[in-house]
Amino acid sequence: MLRERFTQELKDAMRAGEKRKLATIRLIQSALKDKDIELRGAGKGEASDEEILAMLQKMIKQRQESATIYAENNRDELAAQENEEAAIITSFLPKQLDESEMRAAIEAEIAEQGASSMKDMGKVIGGLRGKYAGRMDFGKASGVVKEMLSG
């Protein structure tokens, strides 16, 4: 499903002459080819939508970190470029859970896993990753899980 969307968006960007979007989608497709090659080498075939979403989130995080570094070094034009790319990549992710939805999902996962202490954190995060890949910021989620399990 996501693969077809990348191809369609690439064609649309070409027709519209959107150079930044075109270049960003090509970066996504290149990263996806690398991911597929890596998985085929491990005997797993092509990347699933969940794996693609995780890859997109990693790409967004990389661009956000780069934009911060560029901004700190007064390279505003490069920071703006990284932020544009991050926004384009984000447009491929499903709607993100808001704070209250995330907390409710975490509470449900803790109950489902029967988690009671910090040593259960890995199980809880693993369950959340399986259910909410691409829809939850796991950096924030792990902080909330820690807070709920230690409190």
Q: What is the mean pLDDT of residues 75-94?
A: 95
Q: What is the DSSP string of 37-83?
A: HHHHHTT--SPPHHHHHHHHHHHHHHHHHHHHHHHHTT-HHHHHHHH
Distance CA(59)–CA(27), nearest Å, equals 9
Kindly report the average pLDDT of the chain as a whole number.
92
What confidence tens digit (pLDDT) does each residue in 96-122 have?
Answer: 888 899 999 999 999 998 888 888 899
Digit-coded pLDDT (tens) for 4-24: 999 999 999 999 999 999 999
- Taking only the tens place, the pLDDT of each residue in 22-77 is 999 999 999 999 999 999 998 888 998 888 988 998 999 999 999 999 999 999 99
Residue type present at position 62: Q
Please name the fold of domain 99-150. Answer: Arc Repressor Mutant, subunit A (1.10.10)
How far is 56 from 50, CA to CA, in rounded Å?
10
What dihedral do alpha carbons 8, 88, 143, 106 form, nearest 10°?
A: -30
Structure tokens at 57: 């989130």
**118-136 per-position pLDDT tens digit:** 888 999 998 998 888 778 8
pLDDT at 138: 83
* C-alpha distances out from residue 85 to 26, 34, 94, 104, 114, Å: 11, 19, 17, 31, 40
Q: Is the pLDDT of residue 149 over 90?
A: no
Q: What is the pTM of this model?
A: 0.74
As annotated, the residues of the chain forming the CATH 1.10.1510.10 domain(s) are 2-90
Fold of 2-90: Hypothetical Protein Yqey; Chain: A; domain1 (1.10.1510)
CA dist., res. 70 & res. 46, Å (int): 35
Q: Looking at residue 140, what is its pLDDT?
A: 87
Q: Can you give the pLDDT at residue 12?
A: 96
Residue labelled with tokens 């070094």 = 73
| Residues near 121 by beta carbon (within 8 Å), at least 6 away in sequence | 115, 142, 145, 146, 149
Is the pLDDT at 151 greater than 80? The verdict is no
